[in-house]
Amino acid sequence: MEMKQIRMGIVGAGTWGETHASIYAEHLFADPVAICDMNEERARAIADKYGIRKVYTDYHDLAADEEVDAVAIVTPDFAHADIAVAMADAKKNILIEKPLATTKEDIARICEAVNRNQVRCMVDLHNRWNPPFNTAKQEISSGKLGTPYTAYIRHSDVKWVATDMLSWASKSSILWFLGSHSLDSLRWLFDDEVKRVYSVKKEGILKELGVDTPDIYLTTIEFEKGGVAHMENGWVTPNGNRNINDFRCSVMCTEGMISLDLSSHNLIEEVTEEKASVPDILVSNMVFDRCKGLSYESIRDFVDRLVDGREFRVTLEDARKTALAIIAIHESADTGLPVEVEY
Ligand SMILES: NC(=O)c1ccc[n+]([C@@H]2O[C@H](COP(=O)([O-])OP(=O)(O)OC[C@H]3O[C@@H](n4cnc5c(N)ncnc54)[C@H](O)[C@@H]3O)[C@@H](O)[C@H]2O)c1
């Protein structure tokens, strides 16, 4: 049977670009045909591993490739906009890794190009596919807990992510790297938009380790309809933490409360003579030869919805509003004053 295949291009052959390649390679309706990275060796290594036929070092060449239907942009946080605009102008549908972009100008440029070219665009804010969050959303939407009143969310990484995993942490922040996920989740659970934010940051630990970015942000978020949330995003959890992500959330509603422990993948404990560990089976794991976990499901859903034409579960407007609220949080932490979000 002939099936419609989405011919995918990938820009950015780093850690997460490889995740994208693996998903498109196994998806029944996707065919990864091209990959681009300034580092040709890296792009070629992933191309060889996943059977991707074309390797580019300039994303303009990938944009000009007529065989490519859709493009995943998996470059560092601050390097999404030029590529997204070029792909939209080339009439490619786009999946952009979170965050959408990190400046107001870049956010506006991407939205303008997507709308002008009438292409489809999703941003990979994948916590909506996180089973505990997804269940919380269903429970809250059912109305049996009343309406969300206040919430607390903590979403922090161990230091190692900033010091070793990302080469560009100094040019980003934990607010972009994880806060965009946390804030999108809060917007989704509250079914509301952020009105005003007040954030206090602390810095010094990472600077001492040679990474020029704040350690942690403690933020109060006021929603339009009156809900209030506290959001904590840090990049300095001790490396000995058995979970890379320290991730908790609790939402108090007018008639009930729901609490999620998202950091402990403690369904499995493995102990050797040297150490105990708790392998992840929520975010990205393998079941037989198939990738499972929320970080794969969102990427699959992008392909599925290109095939059947349904609206993306994270709209460009969701990603735009999340990114603008994150900009306001940075501004508040820098000035020490509450900031109203400008949409
Ligand atoms: N959804 C998630 O859970 C998740 C997880 C990890 C990373 N990410 C996001 O994915 C993106 C990439 O992160 P990463 O960890 O893979 O980074 P990385 O540093 O491992 O890889 C980025 C790659 O992009 C390439 N690159 C940069 N600018 C380019 C350009 N103009 N043209 C071509 N190639 C270019 C670099 O050479 C590098 O190989 C970031 O936005 C990050 O926040 C998302």
Mutation to probe ligand 1, out of 10, 16, 57, 300 (largest number of atoms < 8 A from CB): 16
CB under 8 A, 24+ apart: contacts of 258-263: 258/136, 258/139, 258/140, 258/145, 260/132, 260/133, 260/136, 261/132, 262/130, 262/132, 262/133
CA distance linking residue 143 with residue 157, whole number of Å: 33
Report whether pLDDT(262) > 90.
Answer: no
Protein residue with its CA nearest to atom 3 in ligand 1: 295
Residue 259: both structure tokens together: 């609490």
* Residue 4, helix vs strand vs coil: coil
pLDDT tens digit sequence for 109-148: 999 999 999 999 999 999 999 999 999 999 999 999 999 9
pLDDT tens digit sequence for 3-51: 679 999 999 999 999 999 999 999 999 999 999 999 999 999 999 999 9
Backbone angles phi, psi at 31, to 5 degrees: -135, 110
Report whether pLDDT(1) > 70.
Answer: no
Task: Give the atom of ligand 1 at the shortest distance from the alpha carbon of 19.
Answer: 16
In this prediction, what percent of the chain has a pLDDT beyond 70? 99
pLDDT tens digit sequence for 55-73: 999 999 999 999 999 999 9
Q: Say which range, 84-98, 280-294, 304-318, 321-335, has the weakest mean pLDDT.
A: 280-294
Please report the pLDDT score of residue 2 as a whole number.
56
Tell me the average pLDDT of the chain: 96
Please report the pLDDT score of residue 200 as a whole number.
98
Q: Are the CB atoms for 29 and 6 separated by under 8 Å?
A: yes
Q: What is the dihedral of CA 309, 314, 320, 326, to 10 degrees?
A: -170
Task: Give the atom of ligand 1 at the shortest distance from the alpha carbon of 36.
Answer: 33
Q: Are the CB atoms for 233 and 156 separated by under 8 Å?
A: yes
Phi-psi region of 165 (alpha: psi -120 to 50; beta: other; left: phi over 0): alpha
Report whether pLDDT(264) > 80.
Answer: no
* Residue 60, helix vs strand vs coil: helix
Q: Give residue 249 CA to ligand 1 midpoint distance, Å.
A: 27
Q: Which amino acid is at 293?
A: G
Backbone angles phi, psi at 194, to 5 degrees: -70, 130
pLDDT tens digit sequence for 210-245: 999 999 999 999 999 999 999 999 999 999 888 888
CA distance linking residue 183 with residue 324, whole number of Å: 11
pLDDT tens digit sequence for 167-204: 999 999 999 999 999 999 999 999 999 999 999 999 99
DSSP E strand boundaries for the chain:
6-11, 30-36, 54-56, 70-73, 93-97, 121-124, 148-157, 194-202, 216-223, 228-234, 245-253, 256-261, 270-271, 276-277, 285-287, 290-292, 339-340
Q: Residues lining ligand 1, CB < 6 A?
A: 11-17, 36-39, 42, 59, 74-77, 79, 97-98, 124, 126, 166-168, 177, 295
Q: Mean pLDDT, to the nearest integer, of 143-161?
A: 97
CA distance linking residue 162 with residue 173, whole number of Å: 9
In the chain, the domains with their CATH numbers are 6-119 (3.40.50.720), 127-286+315-340 (3.30.360.10)
